[in-house]
Structure 1
Amino acid sequence: METNGVQLTPEQARAALADTEHVRASAAALSATPWPTWFFVTLTLYIAALPITYGGIAAESDWLLPRPAWIAVMLATTAVYGALLAVAARSWRDRTGVALRFDVLPKRVTVPLMVGLPTLLVGSAFAFRVTGRPAWLIAASLIGAAVSVGFHLAFVRLHRKSV
C-alpha cells in the first residue's frame, strides 16, 4: 500500500487502523448522550433541590425561609433549569442535526419515571407537612438524585447500542 509516495509496513498499517478505531470509539463515547455533562449535573441538582423547595412551600409555618422566599427560589430555579434545557437541546440539535425527542425512549422506563418521580418529589413535601420531619425531604432528594443518575446511565447505554 502506498500513501503519498511512502510505503507503509504492515505494522504501521495496523497501528494506523488501531488509531482510527480509537478515534471512532472516542467520538461514539462523546456522542453517547444528548446531555452535556454540565446539564446532567444541573438536572440532578435540580431534582435533588425540588423536595426541599416543595417542603418549604408546603410547611405549615416558615421553615428555614419565609414561604414567599421558597416560592421565589422555586420560580428562579425552574426558569434557570428551563433555559439550560433549551441550551442543551440546541447543543444536541447542532451536534447531531436531530431534535431531542423523548418519545423514542422505552415506555417501560419513562412511564414509571414520569409517574413515580413527581409523586416522590411532591409526596415528600406532604409527608413533611404532616409529620414535620425533614427526613422525608432528604430521602426524596437522595432518591431523586439516584433516579436521575440511573436514568442518565440507562439512556447512555441505550444510545450507545443505537450508534
Structure 2
Amino acid sequence: MESNGASLTPEQARAALADTDRVRISATALTATPWPTWFFLTLTLYTAALPVILGGIMADRDWLLPRPAWMATLLAITALYAALFSVAAKAWRERTGVALRMDVLPKRATLPLMIGLPLLLVGGPYAFHATGRPAWLIAAALLGAAVSVGFHLTFVRLHRRTA
C-alpha cells in the first residue's frame, strides 16, 4: 500500500491498524450507549404498565375498566411508545451518526432480556387470569420496571468500560 507515492513502514502500518481498531471500538461504544434519559423513563413506564393493561384485557369480567377501554389503552400506549422510539432513534442517529443497534451488545445480557422479559410481562397477566389476584400484576409490573432499570445500568456500565 502506498501513501503519497511512498511505501508505509511497518511501524506506520501498525499505527494505521491501531487507529482503525480504536475507531471500531469507539463506534461500538457509541452504539452501546444507553437511551436518552427521557426515553429510558418512557420505556420503563411502558414496561411497568403492560402487565396491568394485559391483565385488564384478560380478566374474566370487567376489572377496573371495561375491556374495550383496556384495549384502547394498550393501543394508545403502544402507538405512543413506537412514536417516541422513532424520535429517540432519529435523535441518536443525528447526534452520533450511528444507528441504535442491539447486535453489538453482549449476548449474555441481551438473550436473557429477550427471553425473560416477555415471559414476565405476559406471565403476570396469565397468573392473574388464573387466580384473580392482582398481586401478580403488581409483581410483574415492578419486576419489569426493575429489569428495565437494571439493563439500562448495565448498558451505562458497558459504555463506560468501552469508552
1:55-74 aligned at under 5 Å gives the runs 55-74=55-74
Q: Partner residue of 1:119? A: 119
Percent same amino acid at aligned positions? 73
Aligned residues: 133
Q: Which residue of 2 aligns with 1:91?
A: 91
* Structure 2, unpaired ranges of 5+: 1-30
Q: TM-score, normalised by structure 1?
A: 0.79
The separation in 1 between residues aligned to 2:161 and 2:88, in whole angstroms, is 22
Q: Distance in 1 between matches of 2:71 and 2:83?
A: 18
Distance 2:79 2:135 in 1: 27
Structure 1 unmatched ranges of 5 or more: 1-30
Separation in 1, partners of 2:99, 2:33 = 13
SS at match of 2:62: coil
Counterpart code for 1:92: W
Q: State the Cα deviation string for residues 109-131 of structure 1 (Å, max 9, x = none).
A: 11111110110110110100010
In structure 2, how many angstroms separate the alpha carbons of the residues matched to 1:140 and 1:32? 27
Separation of aligned partners in 2, 1:33 and 1:53: 30
User: Relative to structure 1, is the Cα distance of residues 122 and 32 closer, same or farther in structure 2, using a 3 angstrom cutoff?
Assistant: closer
Q: Which deviations, in whole Å up to 9, do the C-alpha atoms of 1:39-98 show, x marking residues without a partner?
A: 111100000000000000010100001111101000000000000011111111111100
Residues in 1 aligned to 2:140 and 2:123: alpha-carbon distance in whole angstroms = 9
RMSD: 1.3
Q: Which runs of 4+ in 1 moved over 2 A?
A: 31-34
Tell me, yes or no, if structure 1 residue 136 matches structure 2 residue 154: no
Alpha-carbon separation, structure 2, partners of 1:82 and 1:124 = 23
Partner amino acid, structure 2, of 1:90: K
Aligned to 2:26: none
TM-score by length of 2: 0.79
